[in-house]
Structure 1
Amino acid sequence: MSQARDHADAHTPSRPIRERVAPLRAFAHRRATAQLAAGVPVLPLLFVSVIVLVDLVGGAGMIWLSLLAAAPALAATTNGPRGVFCTGVLAAVLGVRLGIRDGVPASELAAVLSALAAVTLASGLASSLRGRRERVLAAVRSVAEAAQHALLTPIPETVGPFRVAVRYSAAAAEARIGGDLYALVSTPYGVRLIVGDVRGKGLPAVGTAALVLGVFREAAYDEPDLLDVVSRIERSLARNLGGDDFVTAVVAGYGQAGHLEVVNCGHAPPLLVRASGDVVPVEPTHPAPPLGLRALSGEVPSLQVLPFADGDQLLLYTDGVTEARNHDREFYPLAEGLARHVSEEPARTLDALHDELLTYVGGRLHDDAALLLLRKPAASRTATAGPPAPDPAASAPAVSGARVSGPGASDLVVRRPTGVGSNRF
Structure 2
Amino acid sequence: MSATSIGTSVAGTLRTWRRATPERVWPAGALLLIVAIPVADFFLPPHIHLAHLLVVAVAVTAVHAGPRVTSSLGLLAVLALVVAGAERHTLTTESVVIELVALVVVVAFLVFFTRLRDRREGELARVRRVSDATQRVVLRPLPDRAGPVTLASEYRSADADTCIGGDLYAVARVPGSTRLLIGDVRGKGLASISDTATVLGAFRAAAHRRLPLPELVAYIEDTVRWSLAEFAEPDDDVAERFVTAAVLDIPDDEPVVRMISCGHPPPLLLPGTAAGVTPLVVPDPSPPLGLGLLSADTTYAPATFPFDRGDRLLLYTDGVTEARDRQGAFYPLAERAALRQDRPPEALAATLITEVREHTGGRLDDDMAMIVVQRDRDPSLVG
Whether TM-score is above 0.5 comes out as yes
CA displacement at 1:54 relative to structure 2? 9.3
Are 2:73 and 1:87 equivalent residues in the alignment?
yes
Give the distance between the partners of 1:137 and 1:294, measured in 2 at CA. Answer: 40
- Secondary structure at the aligned position of 2:137 is classed as helix
237-246 or 178-187: which moved more?
A: 237-246
Q: String of CA shifts for 1:196-236, please: whole Å, max 9, x gaps.
A: 11112354411111111111112222243211111111111
Are 2:121 and 1:134 equivalent residues in the alignment?
yes
Q: Could you tell me which amino acid in structure 1 is paired with residue 268 of structure 2? A: L
Give the distance between the partners of 2:250 and 2:267, measured in 1 at CA. Answer: 15
Judged with a 3 Å threshold, the aligned counterparts in structure 2 of structure 1 residues 303 and 123 are, in CA distance, closer, same or farther, namely same
CA displacement at 1:367 relative to structure 2? 2.5
- Equivalent position to 1:260, from 254, 257, 261: 257
Q: Could you tell me which amino acid in structure 1 is paired with residue 221 of structure 2? A: E
CA displacement at 1:189 relative to structure 2? 4.9
Q: String of CA shifts for 1:117-174, please: whole Å, max 9, x gaps.
A: 1111111111112111222222222222122111122222111000111111222232
- Secondary structure at the aligned position of 1:41 is classed as helix
Give the distance between the partners of 1:303 and 1:371, measured in 2 at CA. Answer: 22
TM-score, normalized by length of structure 2?
0.80
Q: Could you tell me which amino acid in structure 1 is paired with residue 263 of structure 2? A: G
CA displacement at 1:260 relative to structure 2? 0.6
How does 1:291-302 map onto structure 2 within 5 Å?
291-295=289-293, 301-302=300-301
- Secondary structure at the aligned position of 1:302 is classed as coil
Are 2:325 and 1:326 equivalent residues in the alignment?
yes
User: Is the Cα contact below 8 Å between 2:189 and 2:367 reproduced in 1?
Assistant: no
Give the distance between the partners of 2:364 and 2:335, measured in 1 at CA. Answer: 19
- Secondary structure at the aligned position of 2:323 is classed as coil
User: Is the Cα contact below 8 Å between 2:153 and 2:346 reproduced in 1?
Assistant: yes
Give the distance between the partners of 2:277 and 2:362, measured in 1 at CA. Answer: 26
Give the distance between the partners of 2:77 and 2:295, measured in 1 at CA. Answer: 73
Which residue does the alignment assign to 1:197? 184
CA displacement at 1:310 relative to structure 2? 1.3
Which residue does the alignment assign to 1:74? 60
138-147 or 360-369: which moved more?
A: 360-369
Give the distance between the partners of 2:184 and 2:295, measured in 1 at CA. Answer: 19
Which residue does the alignment assign to 1:286? 284
Give the distance between the partners of 2:363 and 2:37, measured in 1 at CA. Answer: 39
- Secondary structure at the aligned position of 1:156 is classed as coil
- Secondary structure at the aligned position of 2:275 is classed as coil
Q: Could you tell me which amino acid in structure 2 is paired with residue 291 of structure 1? A: L
Which residue does the alignment assign to 1:347? 346
Give the distance between the partners of 2:28 and 2:300, measured in 1 at CA. Answer: 63
Give the distance between the partners of 1:43 and 1:374, measured in 2 at CA. Answer: 54
CA displacement at 1:81 relative to structure 2? 0.7
364-373 or 184-193: which moved more?
A: 364-373
User: Is the Cα contact below 8 Å between 1:190 and 1:384 reproduced in 2?
Assistant: no
Give the distance between the partners of 1:340 and 1:53, measured in 2 at CA. Answer: 66
Q: Which runs of 5+ in 1 are unaligned?
A: 1-29, 387-425
Which residue does the alignment assign to 2:275? 277
Q: Which runs of 5+ in 2 are unaligned?
A: 1-15, 229-237
Give the distance between the partners of 1:76 and 1:44, measured in 2 at CA. Answer: 10
Which residue does the alignment assign to 2:104? 117
CA displacement at 1:69 relative to structure 2? 2.7
Which residue does the alignment assign to 1:251? 247
Give the distance between the partners of 1:286 and 1:221, measured in 2 at CA. Answer: 26
Which residue does the alignment assign to 1:356? 355
Q: String of CA shifts for 1:341-387, please: whole Å, max 9, x gaps.
A: 2235211211222332333333453432111111012xx3216989x
User: Is the Cα contact below 8 Å between 1:274 and 1:312 reproduced in 2?
Assistant: yes
- Secondary structure at the aligned position of 2:281 is classed as coil
- Equivalent position to 1:206, from 193, 205, 220: 193
Which residue does the alignment assign to 1:337? 336
CA displacement at 1:183 relative to structure 2? 0.3
CA displacement at 1:92 relative to structure 2? 2.5
TM-score, normalized by length of structure 1?
0.73
Q: Could you tell me which amino acid in structure 2 is paired with residue 280 of structure 1? A: T
CA displacement at 1:35 relative to structure 2? 8.3
Q: Could you tell me which amino acid in structure 2 is paired with residue 277 of structure 1? A: A
Which residue does the alignment assign to 2:203? 216
- Secondary structure at the aligned position of 1:172 is classed as coil
Are 2:163 and 1:176 equivalent residues in the alignment?
yes
Judged with a 3 Å threshold, the aligned counterparts in structure 2 of structure 1 residues 106 and 315 are, in CA distance, closer, same or farther, namely same
User: Is the Cα contact below 8 Å between 1:310 and 1:376 reproduced in 2?
Assistant: yes
Judged with a 3 Å threshold, the aligned counterparts in structure 2 of structure 1 residues 95 and 154 are, in CA distance, closer, same or farther, namely same
Give the distance between the partners of 1:54 and 1:280, measured in 2 at CA. Answer: 76
Let me know the Cα RMSD of the aligned residues: 3.3
Identity across aligned pairs (percent)?
37
- Secondary structure at the aligned position of 1:222 is classed as coil
